[in-house]
Amino acid sequence: MALKPEPTAPFHSVQHALRVLECVAKHGGGVTDVEIARGTGLPVGHLAHLLRMLTREGYVEQVADGAYTVGESLVLLGSAGDRGQAALSAKLQRTLTEIRDSVGAAVYISRYIDGEVNITQYADGPRAPKVNEWVDFKAAAHASAVGKCLLTQLDHNGRRDHLARHKTARLTSRTITNEKILFTRLDNQPATVPVLDLQEYAVGTVCAAVPITAGKAVGCLALSMPIEHAHRLRQAADTLNRKAAPVLLSLAI
């Protein structure tokens, strides 16, 4: 399976954040923002935004003299074995819960694993109900925002292989069942714009997804909401896109 080369906006933020974390980790006694800017080559304005995000997520801590040191989250995620995996799962769940409350919708992390769509974690609630999985997501990549977002990250052969195993069944009157039309839509999907599902998977539900590709691992961050909240979808999708960087960073460390 080959990946398409287009990077996403969160990808760029994460690459910069990893450079900052590498710089901080090299200075056990702490490092100032001026020194970080010099060491990473990042503009001061952009660096300030990254440091706020990294501090909020617990990856760095600011000590009394204003210098930055390695934070607890980075130490935990860097742990070996089960401890590191448990820390990653807990960190992602906290982040998903925060995003759920911010966008007012159920949110999901999905990964493309061994040729299949997998929802690996999600956060829902009474005011943010998760989508009713009336058709297995593995069989509905052509219709769901999650599936389409994952398919956009595969090359042509990867998509053909997936659809050879999972036919493009009509799930609603809006479902795209023509493979050529579907591929054209996927090819024309801008890498930095959320993928939308407007009742293509299920009547009464709208969804959005943004890619969170870390290395060779294909993934996405998604949300769903009832059709009566559809007027909020695009704004919620934009917020989801802005908040994807912390999720991708957790997966990349």
Interstrand relation of 218-226 and 106-113 (parallel, antiparallel or unpaired): antiparallel
* Residue in the block written with tokens 């053909």: 160
User: What gap in Å lies between CA 2 and CA 156, rounded to an integer?
Assistant: 9
DSSP alpha helices (H): ranges in 27-67? Answer: 33-40, 44-56
Indicate whether 1 belongs to any domain: no
User: What gap in Å lies between CA 60 and CA 119, rounded to an integer?
Assistant: 29
CATH label of the domain that carries residue 164? 3.30.450.40
Mean pLDDT computed over every residue of the chain: 89
User: What gap in Å lies between CA 226 and CA 118, rounded to an integer?
Assistant: 22
Indicate whether 95 belongs to any domain: no
Query: What percentage of the chain has pLDDT greater than the value 90?
Result: 62
Distances (CA, A) of 134 to 43, 109, 144: 48, 19, 12
4-34, pLDDT tens digit by residue?
A: 433 445 556 778 888 888 899 888 789 999 9
65-121, pLDDT tens digit by residue?
A: 889 999 888 887 777 677 778 888 888 999 999 999 999 999 999 999 999 999 999
User: What gap in Å lies between CA 110 and CA 106, rounded to an integer?
Assistant: 13
Residues in contact with 98: Cβ distance below 8 Å, sequence separation at least 6, in sequence order:
243
Indicate whether 24 belongs to any domain: no
Domain containing 236 equals: 104-240
Indicate whether 47 belongs to any domain: no
Q: What is the pTM of this model?
A: 0.80
Indicate whether 9 belongs to any domain: no
Lowest-confidence pick of 34-43, 58-67, 70-79, 143-152: 70-79
Number of domains observed in the structure of the chain:
1
Indicate whether 10 belongs to any domain: no
DSSP alpha helices (H): ranges in the chain? Answer: 9-26, 33-40, 44-56, 72-77, 81-103, 145-152, 156-165, 179-187, 233-242, 244-252
Beta carbons of 8 and 211 less than 8 angstroms apart? yes
181-221, pLDDT tens digit by residue?
A: 999 999 999 878 899 999 999 999 999 999 987 667 789 99
Indicate whether 40 belongs to any domain: no
Indicate whether 219 belongs to any domain: yes
pLDDT at position 18: 86
